[in-house]
Copies of this chain bind each other. A is one copy, B any other.
Amino acid sequence: MPFLQELKRVAALLEIRLDQLLKPEPTHSGQARLIEAMRYGVLDGGKRMRPFLLVETARLFGVAEDAAIEAGMALECVHCYSLMHDDLPAMDDDKLRRGRPTAHVAFGEATAILAGDALLTLAFEILSRTSVHQDAKVRVDLIALLARAAGVNGMAGGQALDLAAEGQNTTALEVSRMQAMKTGALFGFACAAGAVLGGADAPARDSLAAYAAALGQAFQLADDLLDAEGDVLAAGKAVAKDAGRGKATLVGLLGIDAARARLAALIDDAEGALALFGDKAATLKEIARFIAARRG
């Protein structure tokens, strides 16, 4: 199946399961509104790149797609909670995301905060279920990995570095470190989770970790290029906002041409890291090229 069709097929399966999982309660109105906000945050028409990465990594090891999609749901809940909280007025104060009002604009700040909290919590509930894997040890390993990827030494820590860097002089090294935590950690989880579900050996795990590290950097660089070269319609959100807000990005520090060259090198690195898997890794390589070429 062509790459884009496959990406959409997995996204559709993921959304069916998320929709089932987050059925609104009919009785308690306050709770129904919270669930509505969680649905708004997570059923948002995203490309589902992170769960797709998890599913395709797990496929290398013959893991059943259903199980990988369950784990992907947890990952997407964490990703979407982080968007809801990052968009808040006290954080990045964004009003538009994927062409729609952000959650706090649509539901109010209190509900957006709570819905994010509840999505983060739900992620760990999902990973605790036997539908992810029969072996409790595998589930608890996934939970530990996700908690570390999302926590103070991962995504949340990266967001703290990002907030602290606003308006400061920042080096390319510092920006890279921040992005490795803020964006890279969840890409790392996606690939590590596929490997854990598949019982991968150490060389396979190391190769996937190298692939994920390059991919996460490439994704962020492509995002920054999109912002710098800005097209609001394609991006579905406000653009050129990083510069306006005094946020250092690699594109700002390196210039657009050097950033494009670095992006190409990262894609080479990502593809090279997959040598061990031969032709089985064709889709993972396509993911890398897709990320480099994306326009929205």
Is there contact, CB below 8 Å, between A109 and B90? yes
With CB as the reference atom, state the residue of chain B lying closest to A149.
B121
Number of copies: 2
| Apart from A85-B117, A114-B160, A121-B151: 10 A-B pairs, beta carbons within 8 A | A28-B161, A30-B161, A30-B162, A31-B160, A90-B113, A91-B110, A91-B113, A114-B156, A124-B143, A128-B140
Binary interface profile of A, 177-198, with partner B (CB < 8 Å = 1, else 0)? 1100000000000000000000
Q: Which of A29, A33, A140 has the most CB of B within 10 A?
A: A140
With CB as the reference atom, state the residue of chain B lying closest to A142.
B128
Binary interface profile of A, 31-65, with partner B (CB < 8 Å = 1, else 0)? 10111001000000000000000000000000000
- Partner pick for A159 among B91, B114, B151, B156, CB 8 A cutoff: B114
A137 to B129, CA, bound (A): 11
Binary interface profile of A, 111-132, with partner B (CB < 8 Å = 1, else 0)? 1011011101110110111000
With CB as the reference atom, state the residue of chain B lying closest to A109.
B90
Binary interface profile of A, 131-167, with partner B (CB < 8 Å = 1, else 0)? 0000111011101101110111100110111111100
Q: Is A222 an interface residue (CB 8 A)?
A: no
Q: Is A101 an interface residue (CB 8 A)?
A: no
Which residues of B sit under 8 angstroms from A157, Cβ to Cβ? 28, 30-31, 34, 118
Q: Is the interface of A mostly helix, strand, loop or mixed?
A: helix
Interface residues of A (CB under 8 A from B): 28-31, 33-35, 38, 81, 85, 88, 90-91, 108-111, 113-114, 116-118, 120-122, 124-125, 127-129, 135-137, 139-141, 143-144, 146-148, 150-153, 156-157, 159-165, 177-178
Answer whether A152 and B90 are a contact pair too, CB < 8 Å, given A111-B163, A143-B140.
no
Answer whether A160 and B111 are a contact pair too, CB < 8 Å, given A120-B120, A128-B147.
yes
Which residues of B sit under 8 angstroms from A31, Cβ to Cβ? 152-153, 157, 160-161
Which residues of B sit under 8 angstroms from A118, Cβ to Cβ? 151-152, 156-157
Answer whether A125 and B148 are a contact pair too, CB < 8 Å, given A33-B160, A34-B160, A136-B140.
yes
Is there contact, CB below 8 Å, between A29 and B164? yes
Is there contact, CB below 8 Å, between A125 and B147? yes
Is there contact, CB below 8 Å, between B88 and A113? yes
- Partner pick for A120 among B117, B125, B141, CB 8 A cutoff: B117
A151 to B141, CA, bound (A): 21
Question: Taking the nearest CB of chain B, how far is it from the CB of A288, in angstroms?
Answer: 28
A160 to B137, CA, bound (A): 34
Which residues of B sit under 8 angstroms from A129, Cβ to Cβ? 144
A29 to B135, CA, bound (A): 40
Answer whether A147 and B164 are a contact pair too, CB < 8 Å, given A110-B90, A114-B156, A156-B34.
no
Q: Which of A85, A113, A152 has the most CB of B within 10 A?
A: A152
